Structure 1
Amino acid sequence: MNQNDILNITYPSMDVAREEVKHMLSERQTDYSLPRSLYNDPLLFRIDVEEIFQKEWLFVGMTSEIPQKGDYSTVEIAQDPVLIVRDADGHVNAFHNTCRHRGSRICTEHRGKVANLVCPYHQWTYDTKGNLLFAGTEMGDEFDMQKHKLSPIHCKTADGFIFICLAETPPESDFDEFLTSLEAYMEPYDIDNTKLAVESNMYEKANWKLVLENNRECYHCSGSHPELLNTLLEWDDTTDPRATPEFLAYCERMANEWDDEQIPHAHKNFGKRNRLVRMPLKEGTSVMTIDGARGSQKMLGRIKNDKLGSLRILHLPNSWNHMQSDHFIVFRVLPISAQESMVTTKWFVHKDAVEGVDYDTDTLRRVWDATNDQDRKLGEENQRGINSLRYQPGPYSKTFEYGVIDFVNWYADTLQQHLSR
């Protein structure tokens, strides 16, 4: 049996495991890393899936990946296949990608275009709103087509971002407030007029929480990310306790330039889960390429100033993003098993930009391909060390790792809330 099989088994000890997790989280030392089993135990991974990834809002992709009616994309959330499709009215819908006949996946490709959704097994056919159109005369005269629609998934979009929630009832939170602000901050980019230039999918042998922890600090950057630090300033934002007077003065000067062009930039937090903040890159650089020069000759939306730095968008539990003047990068993390994750990175450019003329994909992705691989190695070694019988939770630096503290506290608080209901 492999670790993925755990998701398909009902354990008589699940109630005991849930109580044990609640106890661990209530007794854990704050500002310290988590107990070992929360990083590597298959049964507790199942609890993560059920209580976090099946109940919280997740980032899955961008609307410009499915720009036309009938365009679709697919994704798996810990073995749950999901279908995202633009319907005949232009709306983005999400469904469980399982036929209401005998459960086969309906769309088997990563992306595609359809007039209708046809199951390849027995040709049951659905429209892009999920209605069953054809099941064959073999089902008999009393068969009710209306009772066999595709199973819908809660889906929300905000100026290009697509979020889904697998729960029957999404959790109450400040999520809608975040989406409203996200729309305002994304306005300059005109996402409807962008396109996917290239993407990568990186398999990482580490628990999904270790992937997020690594992302939430730059304590490791100087020793691990030479390509990234050609352009990235290590300070997370103007509230960073390490921020120097020179850095704060630089931020203020750039903020005045952004104000002149009506580019949103103020730091906004929505609890510990969501954050919006625009930060400048190193002086003399424009975007996160190896030399800091523009990666595409066509600017996005109404943007004219290529020194916009990076609009950093955080969405827990599974996404961080960098919006820049000429292209933007989105990152998505999905759990596979207790010690395996998938990190997807996508680069977007103006829809009229021509590959080989206006942009080169190798240039766009060079920095983050290197950075992702460096982070993969760090995460995998972190996982191997945590698997040691001698591992015990260690202290985070409140100066360098406050972002990690925020993430782990969000995770612990959210999991406890769900387990207590």
Structure 2
Amino acid sequence: MNQNDLLNTTCATIHDARQEMATMLEARPENYSLPQPLYNDPLMFRIDVEEVFQKEWLFVGMTSEIPAKGDYFTVEIAQNPVLVVRDADGSVNAFHNTCRHRGSRVCTEHRGKVANLVCPYHQWTYDLKGNLLFAGSEMGESFELKEHGLKKAFCKTAGGFIFVCLGKEEPEGDFDQFLSTLEEYMEPYDVENTKLAVESNMYEQANWKLVIENNRECYHCVGNHPELLNTLLEWDDTNDPRASQEFKDYCKDQAAQWDAEGIPHEHRSFGPGLRNRIVRMPLKKGTKVMTLDGEAGCKKMLGRIKNPQLGSMRILHLPNSWNHMQSDHFIVFRVLPISAQESIVTTKWFVHKDAVEGVDYDPERLRLVWDATNDQDRILGEENQRGINSVGYQPGPYSETFEFGIINFMDWYSETVQKNLKAK
């Protein structure tokens, strides 16, 4: 088989896989898990990457991670290296982290600070807006610097959150409306005056969708998350079909306190499958934040917040993030795919920028609950993946009361992929 024959065979295989995926999603029984190939097949994973992670808005990090000119961090989105940097006028820019010379990564560290962006391979130099400044006389007199700037990725910020999109066009929808609400709801935290206290990266041998599915239900919590349930009330909000009257009354009492302080808390959601969702929920009575004993994790509260019992403002962004905003620290989670059966879950804890480690907060104490919870979820996800790989697997039903969050996710995933496949 020559090279052209191989290329044509590969293209035909991918084309067939795309049609197969569209057929499976269209035929999927409502409120059931997905067919096996959508959890473990490399070709189906490639399509997920192309139609979700290369076309949709993704959460990558927080603006307070890059507070000053030249501060940057890097992230790998399914073999797509991305660079996020703060420029001289304070804007946050995202670029494909690949040199316009021969494609080497420009920034090789996870985070850092630079005056200009210099590729270590041949020293091509870009400014913080991606313009090529220097390529050397070796390129010849006819070489045009302005035609070889770094390729930009779409980038938007709101309430301290940074989102990027790797697509050729911005996705349609109500994302800007979500960002406007996010800006409003995050105002009390004054994110620009926070700092990253600690970060973890956990590799999970499971498809990215299984990671998200596990997060979207607490059906498994009682049997698996003792540390988390010291403080967390498992109901999603007062509309949760399992919510008791006692819980609703408790929420009403807490809401009155939040209203008195001017803290937004009403449930707001946007997009199919509630893909973007914000709601503030109280924690268990007598607890303040998600530490093992429920007591403060940091002595300095965030922004203009005065009430230590602020509960947790839960922010969901599909396909790759969930977050908990509390009175004295907040926690953000990012999921990115690596392969058909491997994902990376990044967790970051933020505190007031003036908080002193060892005096105002202890990183180990701050992270204990979610380190334990993440590892428990990793084991669950990996066992889920192993079972799905079996010849005995067939899609099973979701509970409409305990697993409605997964149903919402699957509705969003199915609708989004089918729409993007048809747009080809």
Task: Give how far 1:141 is off.
Answer: 0.6
Give the fraction of aligned pairs with identical amino acids, expressed as a percent: 75
CA distance in 1, matches of 2:241, 2:372: 28
CA distance in 2, matches of 1:159, 1:233: 25
Look up the equivalent residue of 1:293 and give its one-letter code.
E
Deviations 1:88-109 (A, max 9, x none): 1111000000000010000000
Give the counterpart of 2:294 among 292, 300, 311. Answer: 292
Give the counterpart of 1:366 among 368, 375, 378. Answer: 368
The 3-state SS of whatever aligns with 2:30 is coil
Look up the equivalent residue of 2:312 and give its one-letter code.
S
Look up the equivalent residue of 1:129 and give its one-letter code.
K
Q: Does 1:389 align with 2:396?
A: no
Runs of 4+ in structure 1 deviating by more than 4 angstroms, as ranges, are: none
Partner of 2:308: 306
Task: Give how far 1:10 is off.
Answer: 4.9
Look up the equivalent residue of 1:261 and give its one-letter code.
E
Once the two structures are superposed, the pairs formed by residues 157-196 of structure 1 within 5 Å of their partners are: 157-196=157-196
CA distance in 2, matches of 1:11, 1:398: 40
Deviations 1:35-55 (A, max 9, x none): 000000000000000000000
Partner of 1:88: 88
Partner of 1:325: 327
CA distance in 2, matches of 1:221, 1:159: 30
CA distance in 1, matches of 2:10, 2:420: 19
Q: Does 1:345 align with 2:347?
A: yes
CA distance in 2, matches of 1:171, 1:234: 32
Deviations 1:117-157 (A, max 9, x none): 00000000000000100000000111000100000000000
Partner of 1:202: 202
The 3-state SS of whatever aligns with 2:209 is helix
Partner of 2:113: 113
Task: Give how far 1:170 is off.
Answer: 1.2
- TM-score by length of structure 1 reads 0.97
The 3-state SS of whatever aligns with 1:312 is strand
Partner of 1:356: 358
Task: Give how far 1:321 is off.
Answer: 0.2
Partner of 2:73: 73
Task: Give how far 1:409 is off.
Answer: 1.0
CA distance in 1, matches of 2:375, 2:12: 39
TM-align CA RMSD:
0.7
- TM-score by length of structure 2 reads 0.97
Partner of 2:6: none
Partner of 1:6: none
Partner of 1:270: 270
Once the two structures are superposed, the pairs formed by residues 129-144 of structure 1 within 5 Å of their partners are: 129-144=129-144
Partner of 1:220: 220
Task: Give how far 1:197 is off.
Answer: 0.1
Alignment size in residue pairs: 413
Look up the equivalent residue of 1:406 and give its one-letter code.
N
Look up the equivalent residue of 1:304 and give its one-letter code.
K
Deviations 1:144-198 (A, max 9, x none): 0010000000000002000000001011111000000000000000000000000
Give the counterpart of 1:413 among 402, 415, 419. Answer: 415
Deviations 1:335-354 (A, max 9, x none): 00000000000000000000
Partner of 1:33: 33
CA distance in 2, matches of 1:341, 1:24: 23
Give the counterpart of 1:316 among 311, 315, 318. Answer: 318
Partner of 1:3: none
Task: Give how far 1:11 is off.
Answer: 3.8
Give the counterpart of 1:375 among 377, 391, 415. Answer: 377
Partner of 1:19: 19
Partner of 1:251: 251
CA distance in 2, matches of 1:35, 1:413: 16
Look up the equivalent residue of 2:347 and give its one-letter code.
T
Look up the equivalent residue of 2:282 and give its one-letter code.
P
CA distance in 2, matches of 1:196, 1:10: 44
The 3-state SS of whatever aligns with 1:12 is helix
Q: Does 1:156 align with 2:156?
A: yes
Look up the equivalent residue of 1:329 and give its one-letter code.
I
CA distance in 1, matches of 2:298, 2:196: 13
Look up the equivalent residue of 1:71 and give its one-letter code.
D
CA distance in 2, matches of 1:39, 1:13: 18
Deviations 1:347-388 (A, max 9, x none): 000000000000000110000000000000000000000000
CA distance in 1, matches of 2:74, 2:407: 33
Look up the equivalent residue of 2:62 and give its one-letter code.
M
CA distance in 1, matches of 2:113, 2:11: 40
Give unmatched runs, 5+ long, in structure 2.
Answer: 1-8
